[in-house]
Amino acid sequence: MNHPTPEQPADAVARLRATFRSGRTKPVEWRKEQLNRLRELLTSHGAELAAALHADLGKSEKEAFRTEIDFTVREIDHTLERLDGWLRPEPAPVPAHLGADATAWTRYDPLGVVLVIAPWNYPAQLLLTPLLGALAAGNAVVAKPSELAPATSAALAGLLPRYLDTDAVAVVEGGVPETTELLAQRFDHIFYTGNGTVGRIVMRAAAEHLTPVVLELGGKSPVFVDRDADLAVVADRLVRGKFLNAGQTCVAPDYVLADPVTARALEPEFVRAVREVFGAEPRTSAEYGRIVNERHFDRLAALLGSGRTVTGGDSDRAAKYIAPTVLADVDPAAPVMGEEIFGPILPIVTVADLDEAIGFINDRDKPLALYVFTESDTTRRRLADETSSGGLGLGLPLAHLTVSDLPFGGVGESGMGSYHGRYSIETFSHRKAVLSKPLH
Ligand code: NAD
């Protein structure tokens, strides 16, 4: 049965709840079929999705496949290969007072109807990866793409009903009014990716129904560069990580902390690395993206004056282009050090030493990621032990989120809960405790 969009949120939820109650989404065969169908969608319509991502964010086809389409396919394959094992009931030892014939175990029950709300920066990956995790766990799902990536939202709203079981998956497009109406419904789980202000709105709405939430938020992810690090390698990796998707990545390195000598020595390396990755004129590079809209462009353009420009600094509002920019001598009180940058501007802030760097990080909100470049085991251990962040990248930014066996999520202001691989099953299931004692 094919349901034309737009469907009213309340109707979609009622329809999905009836399907869930019928038991249709529970058999593992149904779950695998949905994942295989999603895989087929991605492999058959990759070019169409890549074109939508280009229209929304100027993403190159290569980047669209790498960070959104193939990323999701890999997550599907990882899940399909291991799902039976993850779902296997786990025996628990039984204490002696219950007798030798008693047994106990845990099993994963799907939660019911799940709402997934996605942002615009990786609008396909961040809708589809939670969606596939929720389906793998046996749930029905309402998927709400971001209205700020309209081409991708429209493409997914058109494609998903053609491939997935429309009685168990609904796509509701729209912005604040539609999401507000959705949030008034009772869900069994809400998975939200986006900013903390809306995260609070989501959590408040969820509290009305005692609905559990995962909040995948952002924040300023710091980088610590030690004086012993190979700065050419550091600059290469930071430039590739920071300027991917024009810096509009939740785990993008937000700012660099280094001592004054290291900071100064990094500057020419950043100039070289930007030129190597994006050429002398990044504006003409097919690999370099654009800012999502004028509002974000204006916000970012106002941050360009926050320090001494090492590279970049130029922008073009009509093209929503901001050059890959590195700023040095940045005052911790400068505007660029206020909110999460979420764009292609990388400030360098100097600190006297490791102690000051640790203090700097701990004085601020717990970040989604912390990146550390050092040869010293002690420095790595101290940063791991003495700071708190959603993830920790030693020697490489962003990549931890491509490891499906690692939980991806934030802590404190950067969010709560996690997903990917088996952690998606944990998130979208109830782990039911079972005790069994024979009657005779
Ligand atoms: P966005 O503006 O697309 O908003 C995200 C979603 O919230 C959208 O679907 C939108 O419709 C909905 N929304 C907006 N206002 C709402 C309201 N008042 N009530 C209900 N729903 C509403 O995206 P964004 O928030 O600008 O995304 C950027 C932020 O997301 C950054 O902070 C970034 O770090 C973070 N982020 C986190 C992750 C992660 O995995 N942790 C990934 C990507 C982005």
Q: The domain spanning residue 318 has which CATH number?
A: 3.40.309.10
In tens, the pLDDT along 279-320 reads 999 999 999 999 999 999 999 999 999 999 999 999 999 999
Q: Is the pLDDT of residue 363 over 80?
A: yes
Could you tell me the pLDDT band of residue 125, with boundaries at 50, 70 and 90?
very high
Asked whether residue 8 carries a pLDDT value surpassing 90, the answer given is no
| Average of per-residue pLDDT across 127-131 | 98
Residues 208, 281 share a domain: no
Whether ligand 1 lies within 6 angstroms of the CB of 292 is answered as no
Rounded to 5 degrees, φ, ψ at 142 are: -100, 120
Q: Which two tokens stand for residue 163?
A: 């491939």
**Is the distance from the beta carbon of residue 250 to the nearest atom of ligand 1 less than 6 Å?**
yes
> 432: which residues sit within 8 A by CB, 6+ positions away?
106, 107, 108, 109
Q: Judge if 137 and 74 occupy the same domain.
A: yes
- Please name the amino acid found at residue 344: P
Give per-residue pLDDT as tens, 202-254: 999 999 999 999 999 999 999 999 999 999 999 999 999 999 999 999 999 99
Contact 412, 365 (CB under 8 A): yes
Residue 1, pLDDT score = 44
Mean pLDDT of 330-354: 98
120 & 228 share domain: no
* Full 3-state SS string of the chain: CCCCCCCCHHHHHHHHHHHHHHCCCCCHHHHHHHHHHHHHHHHHCHHHHHHHHHHHHCCCHHHHHHHHHHHHHHHHHHHHHHHHHHHCCEEECCCHHHCCCCEEEEEEEECCEEEEECCCCCCCHHHHHHHHHHHHCCCEEEEECCCCCHHHHHHHHHHHHHHCCCCCEEECCCCHHHHHHHHCCCCCEEEEECCHHHHHHHHHHHHHCCCCEEEECCCCEEEEECCCCCHHHHHHHHHHHHHHHHHCCCCCEEEEEECHHHHHHHHHHHHHHHHHHHCCCHHHCCCCCCCCCHHHHHHHHCCCCCCEEEECCCEECCCCEECCEEEECCCCCCHHHCCCCCCCEEEEEECCCHHHHHHHHHCCCCCCEEEEECCCHHHHHHHHHHCCCCEEEECCCCHHHHCCCCCECCCHHHEECCECHHHHHHHCEEEEEEEECCCC
Query: Quick check: is 410 in a domain?
Result: no
Q: Which ligand 1 atom is at minimum distance from the Cα of 174? A: 11
Q: What is the CATH number of the domain that holds 28?
A: 3.40.605.10
Q: Do residues 212 and 227 both lie within one domain?
A: no
User: What's the domain range around 253?
Assistant: 222-402
CA distance 424 to 204: 23
Distance CA 276, CA 258 (A): 23
Tell whether 165 and 294 lie within a shared domain. no
Dump pLDDT digits (tens) for 15-25: 999 999 999 99
Mean pLDDT of 398-407: 97
Are residue 188 and residue 261 in the same domain, yes or no?
no
pLDDT of residue 3: 47
Residue 369, ligand 1, Cβ within 6 A? no
Ligand 1 atom with the smallest distance to the CA of 340 is 32
29 in active site: no
Handedness of CA 205, 366, 371, 244 (dihedral sign): positive
Query: What is the distance in A from the centroid of ligand 1 to the CA of 121?
Result: 9
pLDDT for residue 23: 98
For the cut 80, the answer to whether the pLDDT of residue 64 exceeds it is yes
What is this structure's pTM? 0.96
The catalytic residue among 68, 173, 216, 413 is: 216
Q: Are residues 210 and 228 in the same domain?
A: no
**Mean pLDDT, the chain, integer:** 97
State whether 128 and 237 are in the same domain.
no
> Does the pLDDT at position 56 exceed 70?
yes
Nearest ligand 1 atom, CA 218: 34
Q: Which residue has the tokens 């994006």?
A: 278
Q: What's the CA gap between 73 and 264, in Å, rounded? A: 42
Predicted confidence band of residue 6 (pLDDT cuts 50, 70, 90): low
Whose CA is closest to atom 5 on ligand 1? 119
Q: Which residues contact 96 (CB under 8 A, 6 or more apart)?
A: none
In a domain, 3, yes or no: no
* 164-171: average pLDDT: 97
In a domain, 2, yes or no: no
Q: For residues 200 and 76, state if they share a domain.
A: yes
**250 assigned to active site:** yes
Q: Is residue 114 part of a domain?
A: yes
Is the CB of 146 within 6 Å of ligand 1? yes
- Give me 203's structure tokens: 């959590």
Strand partners, 105: 91, 434
Token output for 427:
């998130």
**419 and 374 co-located in one domain:** no
